[in-house]
Structure 1
């Protein structure tokens, strides 16, 4: 299975083996791949995909041609990395003007798992179960979302969204731990990532 790490620098693993998409990190091939797997089965419109990939390019830049080239290069990079694909099918599907990742190719994305765990932790009524879910969510948060792409508008928007989710979960877990005592002895607080939200920022939520 493909495992995508986005919390911190981009990393890609296939059955536990590191995989690279291109010679340089932070390239358009990586950006295209991340956009597609994050969009999931709903896909993304061609116009919006071009905007997210090439919005900083000049007006004279042939973004349509470059999208086709980038899609082609991503396919080749995935083949080179020996990422399996269903017989007779492609990694990237194009339907009704939308691009989407082939749902028949399983992929796990840490940011998706983090958001799901955070939501479950807040919904869980059992205190210990909620703390456990929160601990699992915190363990995934290895740093800022796609830090090497921070100048990209869509990345910055997602960073802000995730920051709010993180702070909300932080408050929720803090309140649960406070009512149970022994806050700093609990593993949820011992294992927070280096870039945890400082307590002084919590009051602004």
Structure 2
């Protein structure tokens, strides 16, 4: 029997959903097959264990009384395998079924972006990790995170906590990368990092703070003040949607409206505040 170990499957779940094997990629792009994609996503998200028919039926049809749930599941598994048919590995090998249990075949080499992010996070905050190595790993992790976990399935009850978890990891890694750049007084890198983070996590106050501060420290005081004011305007124009700006954020105005020769004193304050927000090592 062929083992297919010459293929490594790459699975994206952050910012979209796709499966790549060799030079072939299948992507979630057909709303008519939403249940089939959802089943595939669930099998991959929980690929480390076998999943029973009752569990899958409950997840797929939570509020529906099916006349033949077992038959409905088998029909959906057939449709799900059809989604995988363009790949160079038989769909029956990828999605296996035995004695009423289903699973994604973990015997075929596979990389999943969420698991890669977990590994990078652990290395970044390891007690033995050095700053330059941390920076390299942070940049790698930030490039890996493309957005929300399974965005087209974001309303599913099992997706919500996983999305919250990886969003939190992303923000912690981003804050560490900003911290390192601040320590090196590399304000251009801080600006680049902040803009990347805000393209994915629009309302992270600390990132807005760091962006305004880095703009100021790089010599662009008008842009710093403009960004600060735009953030305040957004908060105050959307009452109830977001928590009000913290005292920490509003105190930023005094710093970025100050004379240039006060920068160094302000930098010590910023670095101290950043260090307080750094997650403990794991």
Give me the TM-score of the superposition, normalised by structure 2.
Answer: 0.60
Q: CA deviation at 1:197?
A: 5.5
- The answer to whether 1:91 aligns with 2:97 is no
**Aligned Cα RMSD in Å?**
3.0
Deviations 1:107-128 (Å, cap 9, x if unpaired)?
2222221222122212152111
Distance 1:142 1:117, change over 3 A: same
In 2, the alpha carbon distance for the partners of 1:73 and 1:167 equals 37
Alignment match, 2:25: 18
Q: CA deviation at 1:38?
A: 2.2
In 2, the alpha carbon distance for the partners of 1:5 and 1:190 equals 23
| Preserved contact between residue 17 and residue 27 of structure 2 (Cα < 8 Å) | no
In 2, the alpha carbon distance for the partners of 1:7 and 1:41 equals 19
- Structure 1 segments unaligned to the other structure (5+ residues): none
- Structure 2 segments unaligned to the other structure (5+ residues): 1-7, 208-245, 247-276, 278-282
- The answer to whether 1:69 aligns with 2:75 is yes
Q: Which has the larger radius of gyration?
A: 2
Moved more, 132-141 or 184-193: 184-193
Alignment match, 1:189: 193
SS of 1:7's equivalent in the other structure is coil
Higher relative contact order (CA 8 A, sep 6+): 1
- The answer to whether 1:150 aligns with 2:154 is yes
2:144 to 140, 144, 147: 140
In 1, the alpha carbon distance for the partners of 2:99 and 2:70 equals 16
Moved more, 31-40 or 149-158: 31-40
| Preserved contact between residue 18 and residue 28 of structure 2 (Cα < 8 Å) | no
Alignment match, 2:49: 42
In 2, the alpha carbon distance for the partners of 1:60 and 1:171 equals 48
Alignment match, 2:205: 200
SS of 2:93's equivalent in the other structure is coil
The structure carrying a bigger helix percent of its residues is 2
Number of corresponding residues: 200
SS of 1:153's equivalent in the other structure is coil
Q: CA deviation at 1:95?
A: 4.8
| Preserved contact between residue 184 and residue 190 of structure 1 (Cα < 8 Å) | no
SS of 1:18's equivalent in the other structure is strand
Distance 1:187 1:109, change over 3 A: farther
Q: CA deviation at 1:12?
A: 2.6
| Preserved contact between residue 26 and residue 148 of structure 1 (Cα < 8 Å) | no
| Preserved contact between residue 22 and residue 88 of structure 2 (Cα < 8 Å) | no
